Amino acid sequence: MSRRVEVIEVGPRDGLQNEKEPLSTEFKKDLILGLEQCGFSEVEVTSMVHPKWVPQLADAAQLLQELSKTPSSAKRTVLVPNLKGLERAVESGVQRVAVFIAASETFSQKNTNRSIEKSLADTQEVVERALDLGLTVRGYLSTVFHCPFEGKVDPETAATLTRKLLQFGCDQVSLGDTIGAAVPEDVDEVLQQLPNVPTEQLALHLHDTYGTALANVTRGLDRGIRTFDSSIGGAGGCPYAPGATGNLATEDLLYLLERGGWEHGIDGDKVLEMARFLEAGLGRPCTSHLMAVNRS
Amino acid sequence: MSRRVEVIEVGPRDGLQNEKEPLSTEFKKDLILGLEQCGFSEVEVTSMVHPKWVPQLADAAQLLQELSKTPSSAKRTVLVPNLKGLERAVESGVQRVAVFIAASETFSQKNTNRSIEKSLADTQEVVERALDLGLTVRGYLSTVFHCPFEGKVDPETAATLTRKLLQFGCDQVSLGDTIGAAVPEDVDEVLQQLPNVPTEQLALHLHDTYGTALANVTRGLDRGIRTFDSSIGGAGGCPYAPGATGNLATEDLLYLLERGGWEHGIDGDKVLEMARFLEAGLGRPCTSHLMAVNRS
């Protein structure tokens, strides 16, 4: 199996979306351009979610315009919740979007105010329209392993929804441990339900709430998964997921990969520089292990 | 392979030994008795190291006397650095001792002021004497994977020293990632050098400096290891190991095991109660993930 791993940086969107204090568009632009210089092949830069729900990312169009002045070889992915969001993304010249559904009914209702079934139908429309327009689409499935409201999620349900997203035309589905509660056995259970899906069509999106994120990465690697989402500095955490702490930090993931001899093509020193840049912008220390070690 | 895992609680010794503020013997006794009630089969209770080096544990004899008033089915292990320490342990009625050597020459010199070779000779004496006296002996090998001064440690050296400790008569050798720098590939490398050693004679003693502790536990479980050391609240950290943060927290290890369906026989609620008891005693929050979640 390949030793090449792709790390998708989701900090600018997933990491920042819940920050209460408004961050300037310029700060976000500099963060993204700096991250692109680290060597990530894909950076999720913002979201076209209604500002009422995610005020921090209300400047998405302006940010994209600023970014367009500096071309990048990295894919700039934008999260879109619906057709309207897709339209706005297209107007901003976006070429890759991400869509999302949840594997837990209660979470789907609380996070997006619609059932999984409705969510699926809406998402199919968005994906098909995006493909028609020549875009590529990444899919997120959240609460794949555990739901903060329902507890353990049925692996078969998670697998069925993953296949649906791929059938709609997503080129990859990122399996989200939204509350960071999964253990390697959970990862196994879900992946075992997806035996015929090429592993390059799957990614893991992990949180480190219980300290299990890198254990789950390890199990994913064992099972052939070669794409992992992470967030600079460990920024982020889902507001609808009680007890959810930050995303798996990019620098912690890179530590595991680097020491383990996995090829990733990312400049670790530059990543730490960007984590320090993020700290300065947020005005507080990042929560990653690597940054804590570097401070000690 | 068995789904039964043994967790050895090392907090009272490894966790407390570097606490600067003196803790009362009564507090230590209550901590240990509480931990024994959690269901651990073995608790490392103190150390017979010279008080000059570890002032916090200078009350070892008194503590053991206090403990002797409350019999326990848990093994009460005492760390001994030399024959003198063994004598003192025996005087206190100890039935199980732990000995330790390092796999890195520089660490051995800095931690115990003797070479690995001298350390081995001294330790052989201690183990043989302990066995003669009817005690059982656990062995620690520290800096198995990485040394804070030398970097990566040769897996063959680590394996050779592990075998020596077993040959001396230790019934188990605990492989210590003293600075918490190991990744699963490191665990693999060392275990692959020990193909003929029954896995019940091996344990992993991990630190979570870089967030890899549970990934390393997972790899150990994959390879048949069924004994793991951990420290209540994540207390501890080696003073001679720059950048070393706390031990793998018992409650975080239990989370992984419990969710993963591993049998461990330990009362998780009681463990959290003891972590809170430790917090009260230390006057600061524990560093474990589980305690952070419970506070949020």
Gap between the terminal Cα atoms of chain A = 37
Q: Confirm if B165 and B158 have CB atoms less than 8 A apart.
A: no
**Chain B residue numbers touching A212 (CB-CB < 8 A):** 214, 255-256
Cβ-defined contacts of B60-67 (< 8 Å, 24+): B60/B88, B60/B92, B61/B88, B61/B91, B61/B92, B62/B25, B63/B25, B63/B28, B63/B29, B63/B32, B64/B92, B64/B93, B64/B94, B65/B92, B66/B25, B66/B26, B66/B29, B67/B29, B67/B32, B67/B33
| Residues A49-84: b if buried by 16+ CB within 10 A, e if exposed | beeeebebbbbbbebbebbeeeebebbbbbbbbbee
Domain ranges of chain B: 6-295
The pLDDT confidence band at residue B1, using thresholds 50, 70 and 90, is: confident
Q: What's the confidence (pLDDT) of residue A142?
A: 96
* Tens-digit pLDDT profile for residues B47-89: 999 888 899 999 999 999 999 999 999 999 999 999 999 999 9
Q: What is the pLDDT of residue A239?
A: 62
Q: If pLDDT is split at 50, 70 and 90, which confidence band does B18 have?
A: confident
Q: Is the pLDDT of residue B239 over 70?
A: no
Supply the pLDDT for residue B242: 55
**What was the pLDDT predicted at A241?**
57
**B221/B3 Cα distance (integer angstroms):** 9
A–B CB contacts, 8 A cutoff, strictly below = 91
What is the C-alpha to C-alpha distance for residues A21 and A31, in angstroms, rounded to an integer? 16
Distance, CA of B34 to CA of A101 (rounded, Å): 45
For position A295, what pLDDT does the model report? 83
* Mean pLDDT value across chain B: 95
pLDDT reported for residue A175: 98
Average pLDDT taken over every residue of chain A: 95
Residues of A in contact with B245 (CB under 8 A): 292-293, 296
Say if the Cβ atoms of A218 and B219 lie within 8 Å: yes
Residue A152, beta-bridge partner list: A146
pLDDT at residue A104, as a whole number? 96
ipTM score of the complex?
Answer: 0.95
- Chain B nearest-CA residue for A146: B259
The CATH code of the domain at A6-295 is: 3.20.20.70
| B-chain residues near A213 (CB < 8 A) | 211
In chain A, the percentage of residues whose pLDDT exceeds 70 is: 97
- Chain A interface disruption, residue of B259, B262, B287, B291, most A CBs within 10 A: B259
- Band of the pLDDT at A246, cuts 50, 70, 90? confident
Q: What are the catalytic residues of A? A: 238
For the segment A20-38, the average pLDDT, to the nearest whole number, is 97
All residues at 6 or more sequence positions from A91 whose CB lies less than 8 Å from its CB, including other chains: A61
| Contact across the interface for A215 and B185, Cβ inside 8 Å | no
